[in-house]
Amino acid sequence: MSKFQKLAGLVVSSALLLPVAGFAQSTYEAERYGYGRGTSADNPSDAKDSSLSSRIKQEMSKDTDVRAHNITVDADNSGVVQLSGYASSQSEADQAVSIARRVPGVSAVQDNIRVDPEQGTSRPFRY
C-alpha cells in the first residue's frame, strides 16, 4: 500500500468519525449542563395543550364582561392553565379565572392577569 493510499484512508476514516465525536460531545454537554431539560420533548406532560387553551378563549369571548383579546391563555397537557395579560378591573380578572376553571379538562388555574384600567380597556381593531 502506498503512502498516498494510507493517507487517503486516514482522511476518509477521520471524516467519517468526526460526526460521531461531535455527537458524543454534544450529548455529554447536554447531560452535564442540563440542555434540553424541561422541554416538551423531554417531558410530554409539559407540552402545550392548544385545544384546551382554545376552548377557554372561546368561553371567554362569549362573556361580555371579559375582554378575551387582552388575556393570554396557556395550558399544558396536565390541565394546568396560566392566564396572563391585562384586565380593566379586578372583577374582570376574577371572571376570566372563573371561566377558565369551569372548562372541562382544567385541573388548576394560575392567575397572572394584571389589573390596569388603561391597558385593559383596549379594543381590538375592527375593519
Edge-to-edge strands of the sheet including 71-75? 71-75, 80-87, 108-115
36 Cβ neighbours under 8 A, 6+ residues apart = 30, 42
- Banded pLDDT at 2 (limits 50, 70, 90): confident
pTM above 0.85, yes or no: no
| pLDDT (0 to 100) of residue 5 | 74
When pLDDT is cut at 50, 70 and 90, the band that residue 113 belongs to is: very high
3 state DSSP class of 113 = strand
pLDDT tens digit sequence for 42-96: 445 456 788 999 999 999 999 999 988 899 999 999 999 999 999 999 999 999 9
Residue 70 grid coordinates: 387582552
Cα-Cα end-to-end distance for the chain: 79
45-120 classified as CATH 3.30.1340.30 = yes
pLDDT band at 39 (very low <50, low <70, confident <90, very high): very low
**Domain boundaries in the chain?**
1-35, 45-120
